[in-house]
Amino acid sequence: MSDTKVYINRTSSFFPNEPVSNDEMEEYLGYINNKPSKSKKIVLRNNGITNRYYALDKEHRSTHTNAEMTAMAVRALFQTHPEELNEVELLSCGTSSPDQMMPSHGVMTHGWLPEMGGIEVVSPSGVCCAGMHAIKYAYLAIKAGEIKSAVATGSERFSGLLVSDVFEEEAQKLVEMAENPFIAFQKDFLRWMLSDGASAFLLSDKPNEEGLSLQLDWIEGVSYANEMKTCMYMGAEKMEDGSLKGFMDYTPEEIMNRSVFSIKQDITLLSDNIVPLGGRKIMEIFQKKGLTVADIDYFLPHISSDFFRPKIYDMIDIYGGGIPYEKWFINLYTVGNVGAASVYLMIDELFNSGRLKKGEKILLLVPESARFSYMYAMLTVV
């Protein structure tokens, strides 16, 4: 590997339509069994989200595809210099909600960008870590000296999976949920958390001549699927032994009747493991790289709910020495959980906030509950 440095020189975001408030959500997503959700207020109180975005209207009609939103975010990187879009050598697009299984999300996004010309395109899959995998592919390609510039994206369009006709009616355990918020982490929980949107980065082997850039110091990831069973899944059902039965092994009638394509979570696995496993790798990274809390100026953790914020704080305190809340930067509350795009959206907002100063360091943490994967990165403002 060469000693080439890699920089994020531009960032952008795209959100479909107007922000949707908590009171408006069921106007867009619909009512299950024609009744307001009993869990909605409890879940919203725990996740802290006040606004999110949907790529659909109140009649459940789609207004944007995932690929279309992603292309709009990419084009926004070159708003003042559109001719530079043709100079990009790699397009790396991460998502967990592609518009179709084939072709890939990346090439569908490329199809919305004919002015890009013929370039290499990759489509990392997964869940929340997919966006970080897209960054790492671009980072490694530049660092290896194969290319000089790349665009990485993270995006999601969950709303089509959240509308009422996708869900089967489920019992609401209101008292139990109030005592233990993890009980709400079911299909109904996910309806009040997920959001649509896209974000893009322009990466280069040279920093901006004027203004700030973000140097990518390192990116590391880990999967614990070797020891953990599946926690969050879609397009499958979980068997009693913990294995998954995929959609190809169901009849079309079973797929509809069993809501096979709705997103589901194993609450017990989530509550017992998502935070402690994230801490295991944090400790290893801090020790290997000789990091201390004093080295970190901003901490950007991707969290699905404000419920996890104190738990991650305690985890970092145990494994990494504690990062005070004044160093945290989170925009979950105003944009919702946008999965693979969430870490991009935090970076984009911070990068364009006017708060950053040269020399400051930004630590990223992206957990993924699907089968317990995690991505970490350090950025330096230059």
Q: Which helix (H) or strand (E) holds 151?
A: strand 149-156
Q: At 5, list the tokens.
A: 């440095």
State the burial class of residue 249 (Cβ atoms within 10 Å of its Cβ: 0-12, 13-18, 19+).
exposed
Query: What are the domain boundaries of the chain?
Result: 1-231+266-382
Q: What is the DSSP letter of 355?
A: -
Instruction: Output the pLDDT for position 99.
Output: 97
C-alpha dist (Å) from residue 203 to 140, 221, 225, 359: 11, 20, 30, 19
Question: Predicted confidence band at 90 (pLDDT cuts at 50, 70, 90)?
Answer: very high
Instruction: Output the pLDDT for position 161.
Output: 87
The 3-state DSSP class for residue 228 equals coil
pLDDT exceeds 60 at position 181: no
Mean pLDDT, to the nearest integer, of 5-19?
98
Query: Angle at the Cα of 172 (from 232 to 262), degrees rounded to 5?
Result: 30
Instruction: Output the pLDDT for position 188.
Output: 64
User: Measured in Å, how far apart are the chain's first and last C-alpha atoms?
Assistant: 22
Q: At 367, list the tokens.
A: 């957990």
Q: Which of 15, 9, 6 minimizes the C-alpha distance to 199?
A: 15
Predicted TM-score (pTM) of this structure? 0.93
Question: Predicted confidence band at 186 (pLDDT cuts at 50, 70, 90)?
Answer: low
pLDDT exceeds 70 at position 179: no
Lowest mean pLDDT among 92-101, 103-112, 306-315: 306-315
Mean pLDDT, to the nearest integer, of 118-126?
96
Instruction: Identify the residue whose tokens are 């950053």.
Output: 356
Question: Predicted confidence band at 174 (pLDDT cuts at 50, 70, 90)?
Answer: very low
pLDDT in tens, 190-238: 788 899 999 999 999 999 999 999 999 999 999 999 999 999 999 999 9
User: What is 1-231+266-382's CATH superfamily?
Assistant: Thiolase/Chalcone synthase (3.40.47.10)
pLDDT exceeds 50 at position 170: no
pLDDT in tens, 311-330: 999 988 887 778 999 999 99
Q: What is the DSSP letter of 85?
A: G
Query: How crowded is residue 89: how many other Cβ atoms within 10 Å of its Cβ?
Result: 17
Lowest mean pLDDT among 61-70, 171-180, 204-213, 333-342: 171-180
Query: Angle at the Cα of 64 (from 90 to 26), degrees rounded to 5?
Result: 135
Q: Is 254 left (phi over 0), alpha (psi -120 to 50) or beta?
A: alpha
Instruction: Output the pLDDT for position 7.
Output: 98
Q: Which helix (H) or strand (E) holds 349?
A: helix 342-351
- The whole-angstrom separation of Cα 37 and Cα 26 is 9
pLDDT exceeds 90 at position 86: yes
- The whole-angstrom separation of Cα 185 and Cα 271 is 9
Mean pLDDT, to the nearest integer, of 343-368?
98
Query: How crowded is residue 226: how many other Cβ atoms within 10 Å of its Cβ?
Result: 7
Instruction: Output the pLDDT for position 320.
Output: 74
Lowest mean pLDDT among 12-16, 263-267, 351-355: 263-267
Q: Which residue has the higher pLDDT, 294 or 169?
A: 294
- The whole-angstrom separation of Cα 9 and Cα 209 is 10
Instruction: Output the pLDDT for position 176.
Output: 47
Instruction: Output the pLDDT for position 38.
Output: 76
pLDDT exceeds 80 at position 85: yes
Question: Predicted confidence band at 187 (pLDDT cuts at 50, 70, 90)?
Answer: low
